Structure 1
């Protein structure tokens, strides 16, 4: 067990510190990597559905080789040299529980640390803190695609056996990384939502913290709230000295008008400040440091200058409120990432063709429309409150259809030799960057170009 705390990030009061000096996390989420998100990677379906489609088309052995290559070549030394030049000091690393747990043998752990180790070793070399983010858990911690659910229900909160599996997994991970100071923290579960039982919610966090502390007394543990980590009303304070709290900031979900250039910037800032202030108020409740673990938006060439003002307005709030932050995301297939494959790369060519028949926004709109159609045609009208969870369940049905009709046919047209080279599109020399965002980031990190 680690006894030398040199370079370990620690909680001290309402600050993060390293070797006694205060630090703010300023960084990125890595991207759609060990947990694939369809709109970010450009392929319909959940993480599991996408991988099953590759296995069905190319065979399991080839599919395994493909994703092994994807995971090991998604980022490399040049990416970290770029991150270092930007001046960021942290990287949130999302991963799916399935890399470590076989659903049929939940008590046995797969030795699949090589992918996390690949990134953590680069973080150590470039002195960038890694924050391990469990982005998907058995049964799903929320109803949406990004936790790899196939039901549209947050079943994780319904079954203690599922939670016990994750509690054990975090003990396993903590035992592995307990002596690694460049792993700054454990982000226990990404974006819980539709949690209805406060006792279950609190008990899970208490148990997982206790499990980690059996082997690792030093690493920070991040607790996220309900409603995609924007609602902390259910969560009681925790007395562990190395616990901190994380929220996510996407204010345009409730106020989409802020994404229109017609809105006066002063008015937009007022809306942002109000929404951010409600989130930051949890600092008074818990008396611990805060981390905005996600903020960001989809970028487009046509409006990139306007979009940078939105990013600035969000980051200004973090900095003015002394809140650590992580932009979502570092790299993807030209959606929210600062780095992305060029349009002429094989990956972008494939996803460009897929985009002609599928995209995430249409999926969401169709899911809502189908719920309305079902209600209006066969039942009485339903309320907005009933409609909200039902559209997630409808979308899981649609994702099955989209994989069959909008993913597998494109893969079947792509010879294996060409498919196996797709991950090369994410190599640094095949990518381009948003220079406008780089300039904004450097303004807050103080890094010179």
Structure 2
């Protein structure tokens, strides 16, 4: 079947379909590819901070060369051979808006974003694996955390209409480019909104961006995500578009860390997971549209991998039992959450292994909360957990800036350019290992 007459993924009631046949999406996200995430890639800072550090140490031109090589080395045809062997049928492709928009010239779109997305989309087409485009970072930040590349710890995207208008225009531009590509299953408008206060602003953005896409593209599915890192849909109003679906993310241990302990009986963990999952499923019942669990996963540890596979299995079972499409987070990273990761003897892992001795995400979060408590108690009065929650994100952006200056840049200064430029090769398939336990688990679902 040629691409010209290939049917698009569509919505029929509460199902995704292709050519009238139901499809359940099973796959992975491509985290830390076109949007660097510090703990997954092993380097402190946000995407922009990390790239600026490379530019300051090696110069702008060499930094651009470095990240161009990183993006192209990160995923190759060998990876798609493995994905096809796993039996997965889709990849979620997170990207940073900065690959398309220069903040100083927001009206002129850059071409590089399409160059990198096309690299993956063309392989998706060849191996018949659907792509879902995920705007993971927007101007001002759609949530307060590092993974939307915020430098403030504030979700400023929801405060300024001009920022939202920029993204509305960007999605129209992307849709015009990909409108005839059936191996793109959907557009995931904005990853994990959070701390959104104004429901009218929230819904107005979705209405406008959907309208903008539909001016040029009436075929592709559009995913709407909820508030609170897409776990709360109470603000979301119905959308008058038959090809709109809903996406949630499932990390139930964030609210209840005890579920990850060995002391928790598996039966009790399953009960907690099931209750949390049913709350998320309410959006399907409410609007009678299909849902997609666009993220679920764990940080893996060699010493505990069999137990952790039980936890992943419990989460995936809920998706399968409730007829919910899913994407594991993530496919590849520096041995954190990815099924594929560079070996310990690779230059990237050696560098990040040194960095881990001084910095990691968990220390950053703990210290951020402790510093907010210290400031409140020292200069004012102790504050509640609810007050502390948004403030610790702002504290962490300061800590990230310091970590870049004191931990990342000194190491780059001691790393000759030739050695630095060789770092991305660590992510080549031949230099990587993978979790065979997770491979076996995923195949148990995809080969039913």
Structure 1 counterpart SS, 2:11? strand
Structure 2 counterpart SS, 1:270? helix
In structure 1, what is the Cα distance between the partners aligned to 2:310 and 2:73? 32
In structure 1, what is the Cα distance between the partners aligned to 2:5 and 2:122? 19
Q: 2:88 corresponds to which residue?
A: 88
Q: Deviations over 1:363-390 (max 9, x none)?
A: 0000000000001111111111110000
Q: Residues 104-115 of structure 1: matches in 2 within 5 Å? A: 104-112=104-112, 113-115=114-116
Q: Deviations over 1:309-339 (max 9, x none)?
A: 0000000000000000000000000000000
Q: Deviations over 1:187-228 (max 9, x none)?
A: 000000000000000000000000000000000000000000
Structure 1 counterpart SS, 2:253? helix
Structure 1 counterpart SS, 2:355? helix
Q: 1:190 corresponds to which residue?
A: 191
Q: Deviations over 1:143-177 (max 9, x none)?
A: 00000000000000000000000000000000000
Q: Residues 65-214 of structure 1: matches in 2 within 5 Å? A: 65-112=65-112, 113-214=114-215
Q: Residues 220-239 of structure 1: matches in 2 within 5 Å? A: 220-239=221-240
CA contact (8 A) 1:237 1:285 kept: no
In structure 1, what is the Cα distance between the partners aligned to 2:351 and 2:7? 43
Q: 1:316 corresponds to which residue?
A: 317
Structure 1 counterpart SS, 2:292? strand
In structure 2, what is the Cα distance between the partners aligned to 1:159 and 1:4? 40
Q: 2:345 corresponds to which residue?
A: 344
In structure 2, what is the Cα distance between the partners aligned to 1:350 and 1:54? 14
Q: Residues 375-386 of structure 1: matches in 2 within 5 Å? A: 375-386=376-387
In structure 2, what is the Cα distance between the partners aligned to 1:422 and 1:106? 32
In structure 2, what is the Cα distance between the partners aligned to 1:7 and 1:56? 48
Measured after TM superposition, the shift of residue 285 of structure 1 is 1.0
Structure 2 counterpart SS, 1:215? coil
Q: Deviations over 1:11-54 (max 9, x none)?
A: 11100000110000000001211000000000000000000000
In structure 1, what is the Cα distance between the partners aligned to 2:357 and 2:99? 32
In structure 1, what is the Cα distance between the partners aligned to 2:288 and 2:421? 50
Q: Deviations over 1:126-155 (max 9, x none)?
A: 000000000000000000000000000000
In structure 2, what is the Cα distance between the partners aligned to 1:253 and 1:360? 14
Using the size of structure 2 for normalisation, the TM-score is: 0.99
Matched, 1:55 2:58: no
Q: 1:419 corresponds to which residue?
A: 420
Measured after TM superposition, the shift of residue 6 of structure 1 is 2.9
Q: 2:278 corresponds to which residue?
A: 277
Q: CA RMSD in A?
A: 0.9
Using the size of structure 1 for normalisation, the TM-score is: 0.98
Q: Deviations over 1:100-131 (max 9, x none)?
A: 00101111101121100000000000000000
In structure 2, what is the Cα distance between the partners aligned to 1:133 and 1:163? 16
Measured after TM superposition, the shift of residue 7 of structure 1 is 2.9
Q: 1:292 corresponds to which residue?
A: 293
In structure 2, what is the Cα distance between the partners aligned to 1:385 and 1:253? 15
In structure 1, what is the Cα distance between the partners aligned to 2:46 and 2:82? 30
CA contact (8 A) 1:97 1:137 kept: yes
Matched, 1:219 2:209: no
Measured after TM superposition, the shift of residue 270 of structure 1 is 0.1
Q: Residues 357-372 of structure 1: matches in 2 within 5 Å? A: 357-372=358-373
In structure 2, what is the Cα distance between the partners aligned to 1:357 and 1:283? 44
Measured after TM superposition, the shift of residue 5 of structure 1 is 6.3
Structure 2 counterpart SS, 1:36? coil
CA contact (8 A) 1:40 1:334 kept: yes
CA contact (8 A) 1:193 1:228 kept: yes
In structure 2, what is the Cα distance between the partners aligned to 1:371 and 1:351? 28
In structure 2, what is the Cα distance between the partners aligned to 1:273 and 1:343? 36
Query: Can you give the 5+ residue segments of structure 1 that lack an aligned partner in the other structure?
Result: none
Alignment size in residue pairs:
445
Q: 1:397 corresponds to which residue?
A: 398
